[in-house]
Structures are given as C-alpha cells and as structure tokens.
Structure 1
C-alpha cells in the first residue's frame, strides 16, 4: 500500500501551562490548571464546573482494557505526544497514520461551561497554544480552532481569526449563547464558514446534558451508549430547520459519535418528514432530509465495524475513519490491525476514501 490513513479525529492533552500562559490576563487567576487530587491523581480543575477532568482516561491509548482507570494518573506519565509535537509525529508513525485532525480534551468539557465570557477566554487561549503545537508540521498536525459562540457577530469574527491562524476547521460548542442553531439568525455565520472554506465540527460530550456517564439509567456502562445522542440531535436540527437547504455548500462534521447508526437515522428522518411533518409543524424542504444528511454531513468513527459494513448505504464522501489518540477509546497503536479486520470486504476505492481521501479532500490537506 503506497498511502497511509489520516485520522479525522485525534486529540491533544492540554499541558499545565496551556491556559495559564495564554489566557487574557483578566482571567489568569481563574484559568484551568492541573491540581493533584487524592484518589483522582492529576486533574484539570476548571472554575465553575462541578467535576474536574481526571487525566487517567484522557491519555489511556494502548492500555489494556482491564487496566483502564479514571483516576490515579500523573501528568508526567501520560503520552508525551499529547503536548509535545515532536513525539506526536513519532506516535503517528507507530500507528501508521499520515496525519491527524487535532481536537482538544479539556476544551471539550469547557464547551459545557455556563459562563460564556470565561469560555471565550479559554478558547482563545487554547487556540494560541494549539497554533504553536501544530506549527512544527501543519501538514500532519491539523488543528481545529474553537469558538464560544457568544453571538453570531462574534462567531463570524472568530471564524476569520481561526482561518488567519492557519487552522483548517472549527470545533463548535453544542449550545450557543443566544438562540439555538436552527434559528435563521445564524445564516451570516453559516455563510461566513462557506466563504472561508471552514468545515464546522460538533464533537461528542460538548452539549449540555450530553454526558450521561454520571447519571445513567442502570449500570454506569449504560451511559457510554448515550454520549452520541447530542451530536445526533444537532445533525437532525440542522437538517430539519433547513440550514443546508439555505446553505447548500456548508460542510459540517459529526465527530466521534460513530456512524453505523447513520443509515437508519437517515431513513427515520425521511419517515418522520413524510408521515408527520404536517401535524408536527415540520418545515417544508425541497429535498428529503436524508439527501441533506448525505451531502452536507461527514461522520467520524474509530472502532465501528457497522460503519464499514453499511458504508455503501451512505454517501461516498461521508465516512472518515479516526484513531482518537490518545483517549481511552483509541485504536492506537493497533489501528492497522483494526483496519485490516474491519475493511477486508470493501471495494479498494471506497476503503481508501474512508481511510484517507474524504478527510484529505474536506480539509484540503497535502499529507
């Protein structure tokens, strides 16, 4: 094989100085920082958020399942490549990947912060740090900037700044400060994303009420199944509210929410539209919901056998494989084994599209 996969969803591990050194001075005393807590080990403490972020699972790639623990980790024992770009390139080679789309870790949780001014300051600080991290090799370390979405006008300014910083896309918070994303007030923002050629991403665990791990029904492991639902809700909202009808060139990414569910989800949207849109006051659309879902939404996944099985039921450009390094759900350093096991039945052209071409084309990568 003369090409290597590109991961459409990987992460950094924010170092202790990420926010403290780069945040607006007015917020420096309140900036997120690492604190060692008894029983939890090193954690990122974020003022205004009830629970700290234990570092154990956020950098547990490669650890056997029986040894996974939420707490007890020391930052210096984590994968150095989470914050050291030189080490990151070596870990990419170890996993056999050509490049990675880089998302935050602590920044995912900050998406749910109730104080939007604080959130804005944190995201601006993170963007400054990430720009430095990716500068070592922008073709292989492809950063996604963050926006707090305090307002539509500021969101547009954030897009322009993120583009100028060299980032290839934007990670969105699940909940904006003003009206929800289905409101036509966001039309200038969608148009700015199109004009700047910036795909917009919604990642799991970035919507309020997203994380059911803390209070699941039944055993805690049942909550793991719920964490994809926030992304599904956002994708459905964008389709049914006509965002893609008004902005047909807008590209969005549903990140780390798996993809094997997508054929049924698209079918279910069409069923709801055909059968129930009149009494449920659904918007009249020029095309079926599944067509917008197919043409405007990309889906990333890591270990999802069903996504590969149903790949021919989706748009050829929709699926984008990822390794989720260095998180606990990562396929690193066994990605090549997982790929070999799950893609053997695929047509070589479609296989290459899912593992490389789709993400390369979406973000216009050189790797």
Structure 2
C-alpha cells in the first residue's frame, strides 16, 4: 500500500486545564471567573438536543465529576468530551474528573504523543468549556469580566496550547460575540500574532444574536476578510443541536448533526456576504460533506428561477455554487458517500479531521479510515484533502506546521 500523507486535522478539541482563567485574569476577578470544583452529579440528561446536568453539593455522596463554575453556570466534564481510549460500550453520558480522562485531552505533550499514534501532523482545536464559539461569555451578565475571559482564553490558546507545541497545534480563537466592533478588534489583535482562524456560530439567531442577513456583523466580517482569518463554524455552535422533538433520544440528533450546517450554508449563500467581503472564507467543522451537492443544486435553482421574489436579486450576484467554490470548506472524518461524490463538491473545498478526543473520533484509526474511504482517489487528490487544502487555507508551512507571526 502506498504511503499515506500525514494528516492535518481541522477539527479536534482541547479540554481546557483548570487554571486557564485563574492564571490569566486580573486578581480581582479570579474568584469570579471560570473555575473548577469537584462535586457529585445528581442527574444528567441529553434529550431533544438539550444538555441538562444537575450538580450536587461539593463533598457530597454520589458519582463525582469536575465541574466548571462561572456565574450561574455549572457544567460538568463528561465522557462525551473525552472518549478516546475507551470502548464504545464504555462511552456513556456521565460526569468525569480530569484524572479519568486521557491526558492528551488537556496536556500538550500527551496530545502530541496521541497525534503521533494517529498519523497526525498538526491540528486545529475547538474549545470545550467556552462552547464551540465562546457563547458561554456572550451569555454572561458581567460583560467586563466576559471580555477579559475571552482575551485570557485566546492568550492561553496562542501562548501555551499552541506556543509550546512546536507548530503542531494551530490556534483557533474566540471573540466577544455580543459586540461586532469588539469582535473585530479581537480578530485583528490575534491576526497580528499569526492566528489563522476564529470560531463563529453556525446560526447566530439561536444565540439571541442578529442573523447574517443584516449588516450587524459587517465590522467583524470585514476584519476577517482583511486579515485572512477563517470563520470556523462547528456543529452545535448555535447551542442547539438538531433534533425532531423534545423527547427525541440523543441518537436522533447524532444522526442529523449535519442539519445545522445545511441550514447555515443556505443562509451564507443567500446573504450577499461573500459579494460584500470577497476575501471571506468559512469552514464547517464536523458537518461531513455528503449533503453538500444537493444543497448547491437546489440553491442554484432557487437563485436562477426564484430570485426575483426570493429577496436575493439585489445582493447575490453569482450562482451559489460559485460562491461555495470560492469561499466555503466542508470538513469530514467519516463520509464515504461524500467522497464518492467529490466531483459535485470540489476537491479544493474539502478538509479532513479526526475529532479527537470526542466520542465520534476516528482516533487512533484515522489513517485507516481515510485510506479505506479514499482508495478510489488519485494520490494528488488524497494529498489535497488530507493536508494540502488545510495548508493553503490556514497559511501553514509546507510541512503542515503553524508559526507565530513573529517567527515568519
């Protein structure tokens, strides 16, 4: 079997160490900022796409977990946050402690070792406690503290998580979503340090924020376009996983996780944003790619035949499929159907991921899964999907590594 290129994963996750905010917030905020306590889990459910944990009193009886505490929020670490190294039968909805998770979830040296086991060169990592686009801080009451928390997370991400990883961890930052001007400033601050990507919500109105059909986000989008910062949208970054009913079991939502990406892409293609900001590029993490061809086909039909009454004639100047080709990237880790229909998506618009350390992760078999599903593709196309597109999109070195701006 021919050699397989080293993987660049555009969707992995960091489980933040307990001291991220305590080490970086001003002294007067340290007791109010995010912090970890150990306490029992009274109950925990995940139905209808909503996660509802209930914490017992610290020191009390019952299954123990490490909980993030911030304002009124009590959020436990769970086995779903860090499932690698456990059999599928062992992965249940349960609280865990740091000692019970694989150390690569939160320690750089252990993460790099686990990447070596999985044939991974480098990885872009989404947040865990702040949620996938930092919406925890947007929901906070104290906006002064929230802004300090956003900046503290980004400093930790750039300086510690990525700054000590020899270029193998690629920084992905968050912004204060409640203020697009502040968000733009944070994008520019981090771009000056060489940060290539920023988290954003797939469907902002689900967070109580304006949609991308308004001009509300223009300062933020302009900053991203001008600095070449990629908008990275992870499934669930609207704080609402797709589901069908309030009592639907988690398996329903898991089967349709791509749905929010589908809705979001229709939004972006019909928003006019790509015409207003030609340098803007977005990516959909963990959305898979098999659904993309039909959406593009349908969007082109609507644009061609219905734009007169569809509200897009004056702002969407090109067919949606052309906009997709120039601005959008789909990300996958296990999608044989999508790869069989790659011509309808575009090999230049596909990125690979391993989803470490989540329950869906292909670790430590990511190379095996990719080889099996890409066996029909020529070596140049495999190289492009597994690493080449990511190198180009994220401005990495030829060997697939990140360097801070000062080192370039």
TM over 0.5: yes
Q: Give the structure 2 partner of residue 334 of structure 1.
A: 365
Q: Give the structure 2 partner of residue 276 of structure 1.
A: 306
The answer to whether residue 352 in structure 2 is matched with residue 350 in structure 1 is no
Q: Tell me: CA distance 1:184–1:354, structure 2 relative to 1, closer, same or farther (3 Å).
A: same
Q: Give the structure 1 partner of residue 139 of structure 2.
A: 114
The answer to whether residue 118 in structure 2 is matched with residue 90 in structure 1 is no
| Moved beyond 6 Å, runs of 4+ | none
Q: How does 1:54-65 map to 2 (within 5 A)?
A: 54-65=77-88
Deviation track 1:166-195 (CA, whole Å, cap 9, x = no partner) reads 322111244377632222343333232122
Aligned residues of 1:151 and 1:177 also touching (Cα < 8 A): no
Aligned residues of 2:4 and 2:371 also touching (Cα < 8 A): no
Q: How many residues are paired up?
A: 366
Q: Equivalent of 2:8, from 6, 22, 30?
A: 6
Deviation, 1:325, is 0.7
User: Which shows bigger deviation, 167-176 or 302-311?
Assistant: 167-176
Deviation track 1:119-174 (CA, whole Å, cap 9, x = no partner) reads 43332221122121111135211010111222222111111111233322111244
Deviation, 1:213, is 6.6
Deviation track 1:261-282 (CA, whole Å, cap 9, x = no partner) reads 1111111212332343333433
State the SS of the aligned residue for 1:130: helix
Q: Tell me: CA distance 1:19–1:55, structure 2 relative to 1, closer, same or farther (3 Å).
A: farther
Deviation, 1:199, is 1.0
Q: Over the residues paired in the alignment, what is the CA RMSD in angstroms?
A: 2.4
State the SS of the aligned residue for 1:286: coil
State the SS of the aligned residue for 1:61: coil
Deviation, 1:75, is 0.8
Q: Give the structure 2 partner of residue 168 of structure 1.
A: 196
Q: Tell me: CA distance 1:239–1:38, structure 2 relative to 1, closer, same or farther (3 Å).
A: same
Q: Tell me: CA distance 1:3–1:221, structure 2 relative to 1, closer, same or farther (3 Å).
A: closer
More helix by share: 1
The two structures have a TM-score, normalised by structure 1, of 0.91
State the SS of the aligned residue for 2:337: helix
Deviation, 1:351, is 1.3
Deviation, 1:215, is 5.9
Q: Give the structure 2 partner of residue 81 of structure 1.
A: 104
Computing the radius of gyration over CA atoms, which structure comes out larger, 1 or 2?
2
Which whole-Å CA distance do the structure 2 matches of 1:277 and 1:48 have between them?
Answer: 46
Aligned residues of 2:262 and 2:291 also touching (Cα < 8 A): no
Which whole-Å CA distance do the structure 2 matches of 1:133 and 1:44 have between them?
Answer: 21
Aligned residues of 1:48 and 1:114 also touching (Cα < 8 A): no
State the SS of the aligned residue for 1:17: coil
Q: How does 1:1-367 map to 2 (within 5 A)?
A: 1=3, 3-25=5-27, 27-39=29-41, 41-47=64-70, 52-108=75-131, 110-111=134-135, 113-115=138-140, 117=143, 119-131=146-158, 132-174=160-202, 175=204, 179-208=210-239, 210-212=240-242, 216=246, 218-284=248-314, 285-366=316-397, 367=400
Aligned residues of 1:23 and 1:124 also touching (Cα < 8 A): no
